[in-house]
Amino acid sequence: MWLPEGCMEQASRMALLETRKYSQGSALGGVNPDLASERQTPSFSVEKLTALLDGGEENTRIRRAVVEAIESDPVFSRENQYFQSQNEKYEAAVRKAVHLQKKVHEMGWTENGPEFKYIYRALSGEVAFLLHTIFMRSISVLGSDKQIVKWIPLAMQYQLIGSYAQTELGHGTYLQGLETTAVFDIATQEFILNTPQISAMKWWPGDMGRSATHTVVFAQLYVRGKCYGVHPFIVQIRSLWDHSLCPGITAGDIGPKMSFEHTDNGYLMLQNVRVSRENMLSKFCEVQPDGTYVRRGSQQINYFTMTAARVALISHEAVIPLMKACTIAIRYSVVRRQSKLKPGEEEAKILDFQTQQEKLLPHLAAAYAFHFISNYLQDLFNRGYEEIQRENFNMLPELHAFSSGFKAIVTQYCASAVEVCLRACGGHGYSLLSGLPSLCTRILASCIYEGENTILFLQTARFLIKCFMAASAGHPVPPSVTYLAAVKPGKCPAKSKFDFLSPDIYTQAYRHAAVRLISSTAAKLQVLIQTGVKKHNAWNECTVQLVQAVKAHCHYITVKNFAETVERLETKGGIQKIMKHLCHLFALHGIFSNAGVFLHDGHISGAQMDMATASYLDLLAVIRKDAVPLVDAFDFTDKTLNSALGSYDGQVYQRLYEWAQKSPTNTQMNPAYERYLKPLLHKKRSKL
C-alpha cells in the first residue's frame, strides 16, 4: 500500500486541519472508529487531491481562509435552518447578503480577487441578491460603455438591487415567444413597456418578490409598428426612498416552492411603464433618436447572459451538491452496519455490500468527471468572452450549444444521483437533518431553471445536426465536433476484460455511439424532408432520437475529457492512479447502464459486454478501499454539509438525536392537546 510522502508531516498538518475544521463534532466523543479506520491507509495523498480540485495549493489555502472567515462569523450561521419558516429563511438570506458587503470590505476581498469565487460555496448559496450579479453581468456584456459607467458603480455599491426578468408565466426558454412589449415613442424618446396579457407576466425572477429595485426586462421591441425581436431594458420597479412599487408596476412573491424558500422569486406586470431611450442596453443594438434601428454583431448575444449563468450553474448547483451528497452517503455507509456478510461475524458496514457500492461509487466517479468537464466549459466560456469583447461572435453558436447540452445532461444526471444517495441512506436519508432532502429538491430545480433540459438538449441538437451536415460536405466545423468528420471505427478490438481498462477502447466506443446516433438521426430527418414532410414536422418526429444523440455526444466529450485530464496528471502522490480508476469506473458505468446503445450495431459484442461488466464490477471493490478519502478530498466542512449523517466524525446517531431536540415541536407546548387531544381522551374517562 502506498503511503504519502512525508507522512508524519502530513499527519500533523491534517490533525491541525481537523481541529479547525471539524471541532464541532468533538463534544460527541471523537471520530467514530468505523470511519476513522477508513482513513488509515489511503492509496493517495488526500491533500494533493484537494489541491488538484482547487487548481493548486494556493487556491486551497485561499478557499479555506474564505470558508474560515465566513463560518466563524455568527451572522452566517446555518444552525437550526431546517426548522425555519419561509419568511425566516428569506430574512436570514437578506441579513447575510447585507452583512456580506461589510465582510467583503472588512476582509479586503475584491470582485476580481482570488477569494471572490469561493464566497458562494462557503455560504452554500443561501444568500439573497444572487440575481444582482446576473443584472450586472447583463449590463457589462450587453450595455454600452456609457451605460456601464452609469449603472455598474451604483450596482457595485448596492445603491440599487438588481434582478433579471426574462421568464414569463406563459414562456420560458423560448425567448422568441416572449410577449412583453416595449414600444418606442419618438416624441418623448422613451420606451413604453406593457404586459399585454396574463401569460406575459414575468414569473420566477429571483429577488423580484420583495427585494429588487431595478431589473433587466426582456421585451419585444417595436418601432413604428415593426417588431425587431427581444431586447433588454433597465426598468426601475421600486422606489429608492421607501421601497414602494413604482407607478404602473405590479409585483410580488409567487408563493411556496419545493425549495429555495430563501429566494423571493417574484412576478412582475407592467402597465404603460416608461423608460428613457438610454435604458435599452445598446452595446450591440440601438434605437437612434429618429427611430432608426441599428444592429452591431450577432442577435445571439442576447443569449450570452444565460450562457454565462448555465456555465456557472453546472459547478455551483449540480456538481457541488453531488459532491456533498456523495460525502454524506459514503461516510454514513461506513458507519451504518446492517446484516452479516459472513455467518458468525458482526453486522457489516453497508458499503461492504456490492449493491451499495454500485449505488454510490459510480456517482462519486461522476462527481470527479463533471468537475473536470465544468473546468473545460469554463475555459471555453472564457475564450468565447474574450472574443466577444473584440466583437468576434464566431464562438457563440458552439458556446451556446455546449452550455445548453452540458447544463442539461449534468443537472439531469446529478438530480438522479443525489436521489440515489438519499435512498442509499435508508430512512435517515429522508430526514431533513441528513442534509440530503434539501440537496435533492435544490438540484431538481436546476433541471428546470436557466432553460428546461429537454429544450436545451434540442438546441444543442440543432448545432450538432448542422455541424454533421457541414462535416459530411467537407466544410470546417468547430474543434469540439471534428470527430463527426473522422473515419468511422470498426468493431471494438477488446479481447479480455482488462482491455476495457484502456481509455482508447472505451473512448472509441463512446465516439462510435455518438457518431452513429447523430448520423442516423440526421439521415432520418433528411428522408422525412425528401418524402415531403415539412421541416418543422420532420424535426418534431425526430426529437426523441435527437435528445438521445445529444446525450451520447455529451457523454463522449465528458469521458474523453476525463481521460485526457488524467493523462496529464503527475504520477506523484498516487493521484493519477486513483483518478484512472475513477475514469474507468465512470466510463464503464455508462456502458453498463446503456448497454443497448453500444450493442445496437455490433460495435461491442455480447461477449465484450460481459467483459466490460466484469471490469466494471471489479473496479467497485478497488475504489471501495479509497471511498472515504475520495470524499474527504472534496474538503467540505461540517458547517458546509450541515448534515447529521455526513459529519467528519461519523457520530451519526448522537447528532440526529441532539439536532432533533432543537425542533420547535420538542421545545414548545403541543397546540393540539388542549383543543383536540384532551377532549378526545377525556370524553369518557379511561378505566386505565
- Helix (H/G/I), strand (E/B), else coil: 19: helix
According to the 3-state scheme, what is the secondary structure of 588-641?
HHHHHHCHHHHHCCCCCCHHHHHHHHHHHHHHHHHHHCCHHHHHHCCCCCHHHH
C-alpha R_g of the chain:
27
Answer whether 229's CB lies under 8 Å from 299's CB.
Answer: yes
Q: Which residue, among 228, 232, 190, has the nearest Cα to 214 in the 3D structure?
A: 232
Helix spans in 185-338 (H): 304-313, 320-335
**197: exposed, middle or buried (Cβ count in 10 Å: 0-12, 13-18, 19+):** exposed
How many CB atoms sit inside 10 A of residue 216's CB?
27
Q: Quick check: helix, strand or coil at residue 557?
A: helix
> How far apart, in whole angstroms, are the C-alpha atoms of residue 201 and residue 635?
43
Beta-carbon-side half-sphere exposure of residue 459 (alpha carbons within 13 Å) = 26
The DSSP element (H or E) to which 234 belongs, if any, is strand 226-236
Q: How far does the chain reach from its first CA to its final CA, in angstroms?
A: 66
What DSSP state is assigned to residue 209? Answer: T
The span from the CA of 436 to the CA of 422, in Å, is: 6
User: CB under 8 Å, gap of 24 or more: what pairs does 418-423 form?
Assistant: 418/321, 418/322, 418/325, 418/443, 420/359, 420/360, 420/363, 421/325, 421/326, 421/328, 421/329, 421/359, 421/360, 421/363, 422/325, 422/329, 423/359
CA–CA dist 120, 312 (Å, integer): 11
Question: d(Cα 650, Cα 659) in Å, to the nearest integer?
Answer: 15
Beta carbons of 431 and 663 less than 8 angstroms apart = no
Long-range interactions of 628-631: CB distance < 8 A, separation 24+: 628/35, 628/38, 628/39, 628/330, 628/331, 628/334, 629/38, 629/39, 629/42, 629/43, 629/44, 629/46, 629/49, 630/49, 630/330, 630/364, 630/578, 630/582, 631/323, 631/326, 631/327, 631/330, 631/331, 631/364
Phi, psi of 627 (to 5 degrees): -60, -50
- Residues involved in catalysis: 450
> Does residue 233 contact residue 216 with C-beta atoms inside 8 Å?
yes
Owner of C-alpha cell 467514530: 32
DSSP code of residue 488: P
CB 124 within 8 A of CB 81: no
Question: CA–CA separation, 376 vs 370, rounded Å?
Answer: 10
Distance CA(102)–CA(71), nearest Å, equals 15
Query: Dihedral of CA 42/47/50/51: which sign?
Result: negative
